[in-house]
Amino acid sequence: MSSSEDTTIPVSESPAADAPSEPAAPVDDLREGLVERLTELLGDGVVDHHIIPGKDVWIRVTADAWQHTAESVRYTLGCRYFGFLSAIDWMPSPWGRGMEAEVDTIVHGKEAKELPAQTTGYAGGDTRFQVFARVANIKDHFGITLKVDAGDETPSVPTWTKVFAGADWHERETWEMYGIDFVGHPFLRHIYLPGDFEGNPCRKDFPLLARFVKPWPGIVDVEPLPGSDEPGSDTAGSDEPAADASAPEETA
């Protein structure tokens, strides 16, 4: 072989070789483990979950598994602290943001507009009403937000009062305000409203009569502050602050 011959072995060029590698997605071993353990305990009862690494976890379960979920998080995962229980109505409000707002969908004397599509938060949802609760393990420093689809027309889920006594008041309030039945609750009764009150004020389609009588705060024009933009005011149209009458006059 002649010494003048080029014996360099060509190297194939790959476009991906020079491309910067994407950073690995952060992993939260603690919360990933909580989801895996709860899935082992509930099986198909776990519908979905969402994790923000290093911060929090949301787990959605079926209504049939709701009471078993309470038992599992307390007695197996050590979440003995019950924070709260409440509900949310995911139906877009037919009243818009206010009775005089441009986005109104139902206003007397105006043509109704099409409602926006229903959307849900972390871990999703399939029904109009959802119940959610917050529990925590104080010793190991973590919390879990648990969600359950409660239904549409006649929402209901099993009660948690047999596992967390503190859920009693929370379930009563949620039953009163959203009309969600907590099956097995020992005594559902009104807390804020009269016993013969009809309707559930926190439902999106419950009409707040005050909005019909008076424009809702935040959508009306804000009146100017006295002495700022009023005609004839010394400071009207000026960015200079008014003189302080209490300040001593300068002397030559």
pLDDT tens digit sequence for 92-109: 877 655 544 444 444 444
Q: What is the pLDDT of residue 150?
A: 97
What is the value of pTM for the model shown?
0.70
Domain that holds residue 144: 27-213
In a domain, 133, yes or no: yes
Q: How many domains does the chain have?
A: 1
Q: What is the pLDDT of residue 8?
A: 54
In a domain, 2, yes or no: no
Roughly what angle, to the nearest 10 degrees, separates helices 66-75 and 29-42? 130
Could you tell me the pLDDT band of residue 22, with boundaries at 50, 70 and 90? Answer: confident
Tell me the CATH number at 167. Answer: 3.30.460.80
In a domain, 87, yes or no: yes
Closest CA to 139 of 74, 49, 72: 74
Whether residue 72 is predicted with pLDDT greater than 70 in this model: the reply is yes
Rg of the chain taking only CA atoms, in angstroms: 30
Mean pLDDT of all residues in 186-190: 93
- Whether residue 179 contacts residue 203, with contact meaning beta carbons closer than 8 Å, is answered with yes
Strand pairing class (81-89; 56-61): unpaired
In a domain, 223, yes or no: no
Q: Of all residues in the chain, what percent carry a pLDDT higher than 90? A: 54
pLDDT, averaged across the chain? 80
